[in-house]
């Protein structure tokens, strides 16, 4: 029996001087704009994933300061046989430092700063509808304390387990 599971992702909204840090990346649909974002890896918290993805995609070290929202969207490309639902945890982050010598992840063309108005003005270039949602939540000052996001130590253990056990 197949069990449907959404793909858990994270994103970071980073503001500096009224501008938001964005990336331009190659996708199957061409160049697209996105917040620094990616998948949750085994053995890390959601906040750690957002910080890691930001560093890998922008060369910026950031600190997660609030949960901005949890959003879900589906991407379907029937021709390519793709049907994925993403459950995205978006964090508001504070920029700490930028490493000009660090290479960006494969597929990332550049990281740069844009105003919220500039981002909202070009939805046809967004990687997904989650890009706009994150900007709208930022503008509405939506945020929750990080203590609302809790990770049990068992999720951080990368030791291979025996037969699957029920833990929900």
Looking at residue 158, its pLDDT comes to 79
Containing 131, the helix (H) or strand (E) segment is helix 129-139
pLDDT score recorded for residue 79? 82
- Domain 7-148: give its CATH architecture: Alpha-Beta Complex (3.90)
pLDDT means per 10 residues in the chain (168 residues)?
Answer: 87 98 94 97 97 98 98 88 93 98 97 98 96 98 96 87 58
Residue ranges of the domains in the chain?
7-148
pLDDT at 31: 97
Prediction pTM value: 0.90
Residue-wise pLDDT tens digits, 45-65? 999 999 999 999 999 999 999
What pLDDT is attached to residue 89? Answer: 98
Look at strands 82-98 and 7-16 and give their pairing: parallel
């Amino acid at each position: 029996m197949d069990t449907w599971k959404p793909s858990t992702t994270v994103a970071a909204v980073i503001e500096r001087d009224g501008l938001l840090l964005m990336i331009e990346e190659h996708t199957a649909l061409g160049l697209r704009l996105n917040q620094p974002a990616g998948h949750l890896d085994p053995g890390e918290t959601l906040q750690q994933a957002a910080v890691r993805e930001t560093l890998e995609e922008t060369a910026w070290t950031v600190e997660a300061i609030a949960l901005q929202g949890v959003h879900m969207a589906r991407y379907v490309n029937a021709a390519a046989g793709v049907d994925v639902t993403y459950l995205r945890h978006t964090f508001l982050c504070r920029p700490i430092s930028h490493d000009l010598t660090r290479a960006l992840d494969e597929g990332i063309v550049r990281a740069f700063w844009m105003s919220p108005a500039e981002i909202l003005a070009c939805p046809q270039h967004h990687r997904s509808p989650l890009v706009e949602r994150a900007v709208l939540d930022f503008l509405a000052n939506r945020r929750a304390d990080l203590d609302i996001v809790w990770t049990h130590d068992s999720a951080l253990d990368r030791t291979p387990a025996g037969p699957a056990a029920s833990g929900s």
